[in-house]
Structures are given as structure tokens and as C-alpha cells.
Amino acid sequence: MDSLQEGPMVGDRILIGLTGAKYSGKDTLADHLCHSHGFIKYALADPLKGVCKSLFGLRDEQLWGDLKEEKDVRYGKTPRQLLQILGTDCIRQKVQDDFWVAQWQAWLNNTPHRRVVVSDVRFENEVRAIHDNGGVVLRIERPCLIRCDAHSSEQTHRLGGIDHTIINDRAPADMHRRFDALFPRIVSDVTHDEAAA
């Protein structure tokens, strides 16, 4: 095992949250963490996607694949819009803004995995939850992206509490190398914070 993968002792948790605009590369980087550094990926939107799959009869490729921006003729909305309406406009704003964080926290409290990456941090309370659990939040910036979604769930450029930023302006392999260079510092930050607690 190389030094990038050794990290802290087995009992220590490394928790990383990823934020950034849609198409910035969050899932691409999360997949790299899983394949190269032994992380398991959790998306805060996955429980919501399960509900939307059942409620609206959406297919996996509409929720997790390439069809999330294509309008579903049954509803006149894209799957992404349905997720925003149900997950943010209804549940976060009308029921409880920490609802999806609570789902994740329950999962985190019971998972045996010591390396967890949350691939879709979108709100301040989600940043706080990552920090409260001893984690760090990385923003992925892709300079060529044009922001065209005014929905509150797509305003990640306004989030505070970001620990590190990774620029994704070339091929995915370049972003992976930038993360790999940063990873020892993240491990040091996380284990130092745990030791100080």
C-alpha cells in the first residue's frame, strides 16, 4: 500500500464532503476516492432519489445517469427539477431543513466504513454536519462552467466553511492528481482535529 493510501490508523475516520456546481466533477472525484483511496460514497440525495423513483416512476438513468436534465413528458419537468421541488422546496423548506442531514447522520452512526466521501454537499447545514463529524469540505471549481440554475440547491459558490478548493480545468486525471497531492494534508488535518478533541 502506498503512502497516499495508508492514512491514519484503522480506528480513525476520514470524512470528506464535496461541493461545487452541477457538472463540476463531484461524482468523478468521489469515484476516484473510492477506487484509489478506499472510500465509500454517500450522496445526501440518494434517499430522495429512491423516493422519487417510487413516487414518480423514474428510471435509474433519470436519477443517477445521463437523463436527469431531460424533461419527463408525464410531468413537464426534468428529474433534477422534481428532486429540487420535493427535496428542497417541500421537505427542507416545509418539513425540516435538517431532514436529509438526519438521514445521513443515522447512516454514518451505523456504518462500519472508516473512509466516507459525501458527494453532494449543497447547503450550510450540510457543511456544518461534515465539520461536526470531524470532516473537511472540498469545493470543486470548474472555471468553464456557466451558472444557469437559480435554484437554492445550486448556489454552492456562496457556501462558507470550505476547507480546500480543487480546480477542475483539465482532464479528470489532472483533478485526481491535485487531490492526491492534497490528501496527506487532509489526513493530517483530520487526525490532528481528532487528537485535539
All structural domains of the chain, each given as residue ranges with its CATH number in brackets, are 3-196 (3.40.50.300)
Radius of gyration of the chain (CA): 17
Q: What is the pLDDT of residue 57?
A: 96
pLDDT tops 50 at residue 115? yes
Whole-model pTM: value is 0.83
How many CB atoms are located within 10 Å of the residue 54 CB? 9
Q: What is the mean pLDDT of the chain?
A: 86
When pLDDT is averaged across residues 147-169 and rounded to a whole number, the result is 71
Q: For residue range 18-65, list pLDDT tens digits in order.
A: 999 888 999 999 999 999 999 999 999 999 999 999 999 999 999 998
For residue 183, give the 3-state DSSP assignment: helix
Task: Tell me the residue type at 16.
Answer: I
Partners of residue 164 on adjacent β-strands = 138
